[in-house]
Amino acid sequence: MSKKYALAVVILVTLTLSIGIWALLNLSLSPVSSPPESENTSLHTNHTPYTNPNWRFPSGNETSIFLPDFCYYCPVVEQVMPSVVSIIAEVIKSGVFGQYTDSVAGSGILLDDRGYIATNNHVVENAQSIYVELLDGRVFPASIVGTDSLSDLAVIKIDATALPYARWGKSSSLSLGERVLAIGNALGEGIMVSDGIVSRLDVSVSVGGNILYGLIQTDAAINPGNSGGPLVNMAGEVIGITSVKIVASEVEGMGFAISSDEARPIIENLIRYGRVVYPWLGVSVRTVDRALAAARGISVDKGALIEQLVADSPAEKAGLRVGDVIIRFKGREIKDVADLVRAIRGSEIGEKVEIVFVRGDDTITTSARLVERPRS
């Protein structure tokens, strides 16, 4: 092919491409004319003979005047919730790479209008700083008034007045199957409400080597963050302070609250003295049952077996020994360790108490003068 012919082909191809591009540009930039709209053309592409562009909801359809009130819990929640607070405690912890600050979420109950708040000891234990958020969104720094690890109770205080506070009821009036509500800062997400029933009463649970007595068991949902919040009855009264739950893959609905009857005197002591003063006998005991009685050759199948005895304690001065089984205390039958602990805690420091115990086949009566529990 000659050079002149090749040049002509290139010029022809270039010209053709230029004309094509010019035409496309003009087509894209020029306005598209639409066909004339007929009188029957509608903007509604899916219209049918039954559509009505002017239709509106009939007036008065927005409310249900005769709707009955099925909100059984609403009055209780409305009454109690303003007295429930969210607690955030900043705690120093130790890890692989040294110390670090961790936040612990919990709940609390306003005890009066001056800012005293009941919560769990494990919520504020070893806290470097504590903050309390009220239901209305206000946040206050809080100070510890007193704590008690034996009962897992604590009292903190904020600098505020004219606060809504909870009413307290008697847990001794509870019945199995009674409806209750658990209110608290579940999972640190704010104050929430869950409902359930009283599943069991006067329960003892071991927590971290410590035994909590007189607990209320409920199937109301209790999650981390609920600790320290109230368990309330349908009269809107606090009948417990939520504390622990059993967590396991095969366990459902086993939460526990410290009963109001157990908590009330402890809270009063924490506010008045900053600590709880317990009477002390000076023994370490174990519950006697049929299996233990058969294994140890004990002549009774219930009571509190003394396994350890502190030197120079009221128990030693009263003549008690290791291996004795306490079966009565101040006229009260002692069937297990919980009975003995509660009987001692229900006594006064300096009080002289009568104790009936079994040694071998003999039943012996003695007396002991209780003293203040030594500080740990």
User: Which positions are catalytic?
Assistant: 122, 152, 227
> Rounded to a whole number, what is the largest CA-CA distance in the chain?
136
The long-range contacts involving 322-326, CB below 8 angstroms and separated by at least 24 positions, are: 323/359, 324/357, 324/358, 324/359, 325/288, 325/298, 325/300, 325/357, 325/358, 325/359, 326/285, 326/355, 326/356, 326/357
Task: Extract the tokens encoding 317.
Answer: 């001065």
- Give every CB contact of residue 306 below 8 A, 6+ residues apart in sequence: 283, 284, 285, 315, 320, 321, 322, 323, 324, 325, 326
Q: Do the Cβ atoms of 117 and 110 come closer than 8 Å?
A: yes
* Cα angle for residues 114, 277, 318 (degrees, 5° grid): 165
How far apart are the C-alpha atoms of 153 and 105, rounded to whole Å?
15
Element (H, E) at 193: strand 192-207
Tell me the Cα Rg of the chain: 37
CA dist 101 to 93, 94, 244, 307, Å? Answer: 6, 9, 23, 41
